[in-house]
Chain A
Amino acid sequence: MGVDEQILQKREELKTCGNRQYLEKLEAQGKMYVRDRLNLLIDPGSEVEDGLFARCLDDGLPADGVVTVVAKINGRSVCVLANDMTVKAGTWGVKTILKMMRIQETAIRMKVPMIYLIDSAGARLNEQFDTFLDRRHAGNIFYNQGIMSGVVPQICAVFGPSPAGSAYIPALCDLVIMVDKNTSVYIGSPRMAEMVTGEKVSMEEMGGARMHCSESGLGDVFVESELEAIDYIKSYLDFMPQNCEETVPMKESTEPAPGREVEDIVPVNQSVPFDMMELVDKIIDEGSFLEFKKLYAEELITGFARLGGRAVGVIGNRTSVKAGVLFPESADKGAHFISLCNAYNIPLLFLMDIAGFMIGTKVEKNAIARRGARWLSSLFNSTVPRISVIVRKSYGAGYIAMSGASSQASACIALPTALPAIMGPEPAVNAMYLNKINEIEDNKERMKYIHAKRQEYLKDINVLRPASEYYIDDVVAGSMLRDELIKRFYYYSENYDSDRQILKKRNIVFRG
């Protein structure tokens, strides 16, 4: 056998899984072998791999349990690391951590997205002394993630476990996708919890995909299969630039999906809830919406879309869920999404139908003001073009959070149904005329008085009043809305698209 043939044989051996007995188990769990997973993600044959031979002289440690490649996805360069569950349960050994750091550093140098395909039982305990303390040990991976935040997109898909310290890999990424049933991400395992505190809990409850995507917010995208996770990564990359110095490439514009007219979608009666998603679909290019954090704080819609071919981030209030008001969780969700879009130069569209931030002891104890302020701070410090549309009511701090004119939006325009005010007619009349109301003894007369005052108040906050004062920039018919937004985003993005504008800022991505 020639030397070439020998090395080719060795390469093949290292690539085809050292511990074949685990393959069947993976298959039974609906999981793929790491290289099959990788091959579905990247353009065929585009990869170069480093560290295939790492620990090739050790027994049963091919590539030390992690595959690291530079490759193309739909023609664009990316860096990928992927844990190999068949090698010591994907644990981090001495060369695993070095390989992970090296691929991160390559992503920084190349200024390309970094993708983490996670499926690992965490630190390899019998090697812990040589993986934990030094400057080039495991903590350096998280440090790299921290300094990469907002510089290159960091995307994480969790296909299996990611326990203890390694839970911070998803936690430090911009976007986290979790596969149902197989994901388990936690700081302390259920077994550890039982040992230390006596709590008895299932793996799913402690760190499953559904829990994280709907309750903790650590997961952003819940998927049912590995294929779905891979598809989502590709769709998401379509909305990302290569790095913070670039903008997202334009696509060809397509018409919105057929559906009801805007004036038929938006109910005139302000207390009737409606699903803002129908309005979003009426405005954006057909089929372009990619929802972000769909299962978390559903009263707030966040997602990417194309508007006349341009990538935009959409934030809308969904009054059909929890009246569409902002809760501590929705504040976190909004802050995360705004900082994400701002980091990667994606303009923002706000669709307002909001009675404000939720009130009551429950939300106060849950830090509504502190968490709401993080949203506000992310918004105020964002520099991407922002257009806000007052769709219906827009009261109090809700108006400010949804990028009203006073939040220095590029433009704040209104639909005819808009009703912006510091508060709604009921509490306002109550606050202004309480003494007078209490003085009227006859019940009927009192109700008449209240009704008259409410009507008076409503007249004052009618959309033409703020338009006449030039507090808002324009009032447009529903039928004009899409074209109006496309034109405005074009103009406000024109100068922004130059490097000079972009380089003025850099922000890290705050996860909500």
Chain B
Amino acid sequence: MTEIKATMAGVVDSVFVEPGTVVEAGQKVMAIESMKTIMEVNTTVGGTVTAIKMDVGEFVDEGDVLLIVE
């Protein structure tokens, strides 16, 4: 199980996967808007997304868990 975490504070702009989506390492899974920039979040590992922890529009702090890949 790997937790994909936010690298900086911001607001979730989009979520590109849902529970059950099979992802490859490096794949874009979310986008976070922060400091006037839309930052892509890529999963560091491949596997199946088992949980999405943050919704579009939610504030996330650096280090918060965004989703879980198993």
Which A residues fall within an 8 A CB radius of B? 270-273, 319, 322-325, 355-356, 358-360, 362, 393, 395, 424, 426
A322 vs B36: C-alpha distance when bound (angstroms): 11
Contact B61 A362 (CB under 8 A): yes
Beyond known contacts A360-B9, A424-B36: 14 more, CB 8 A cutoff: A270-B36, A271-B37, A271-B38, A272-B38, A319-B37, A322-B7, A322-B8, A323-B35, A324-B37, A325-B35, A358-B8, A359-B35, A362-B9, A362-B61
A234 to nearest B CB, angstroms? 35
Min CB gap B44→A, angstroms: 15
Taking residues whose C-beta sits less than 8 angstroms from the other chain, chain B's interface range is 10 to 19
Which residues on the B side are within 8 Å of A325 (C-beta)? 35
Interface string of B6-17 (1 = CB under 8 A from A): 011100000000
Contacts of B62 in A (CB 8 A): 362
B13: nearest residue on chain A (CB-CB)? A271
Contact B38 A356 (CB under 8 A): no
Is B39 part of the binding interface, using a Cβ–Cβ cutoff of 8 Å? yes
In the complex, the answer to whether B35 meets A358 with C-beta atoms within 8 Å is yes
Measured between beta carbons, the chain B residues less than 8 angstroms from A424 are: 36
CB contacts between A and B, total, < 8 Å: 41
Closest residue of chain A to B39 (Cβ to Cβ) is: A323
Q: Which residues of B contact A (CB under 8 A)?
A: 7-9, 33-40, 61-62
Within the complex, which residue of A270, A272, A323, A362 is in contact with B34, where a contact is CB–CB below 8 Å? A323
Task: Contact check, A426 vs B9: say whether CB atoms are below 8 A apart.
Answer: no
Chain A to chain B: the 3 pairs with minimum beta-carbon distance, closest first: A323-B37, A355-B35, A323-B35
* Complex-state Cα separation, A358 to B8, whole angstroms: 9
Instruction: Say whether B36 contacts A355, CB under 8 Å.
Output: yes
Asked, given contacts A362-B61, A362-B62, whether A271 binds B8 with beta carbons under 8 Å apart, the answer is: no
Q: Is the interface of A mostly helix, strand, loop or mixed?
A: loop
B37 touching A355, Cβ below 8 Å? yes
Point out the residues of chain B lying under 8 angstroms from A319, CB to CB: 37
CB nearest to B63 among chain A residues: A362
Provide the residues of chain A in CB contact with B36, threshold 8 Å: 270-271, 323, 355, 393, 395, 424, 426
For the complex, give the distance between the alpha carbons of A322 and B32 in Å: 10
Min Cβ gap A356→B in Å is 7
A425 to B, closest residue via Cβ: B36
Chain B nearest CB: distance from A443 CB in Å?
Answer: 16
User: In the complex, A395 Cα to B38 Cα: how many Å?
Assistant: 17
Chain A residues, CB < 8 A from B35: 323, 325, 355-356, 358-359
28 inter-chain pairs at a CB distance below 8 angstroms, sorted by A residue, are A270-B36, A271-B33, A271-B37, A271-B38, A273-B37, A273-B38, A273-B39, A273-B40, A319-B37, A322-B7, A322-B34, A322-B39, A323-B8, A323-B34, A323-B37, A323-B39, A325-B35, A355-B36, A355-B37, A356-B35, A359-B35, A362-B9, A362-B61, A362-B62, A393-B36, A395-B36, A424-B36, A426-B36
- CB closest residue in chain A, given B38: A271
* A426 contact set on B, CB distance < 8 A: 36
Chain B residues near A393 (CB-CB < 8 A): 36
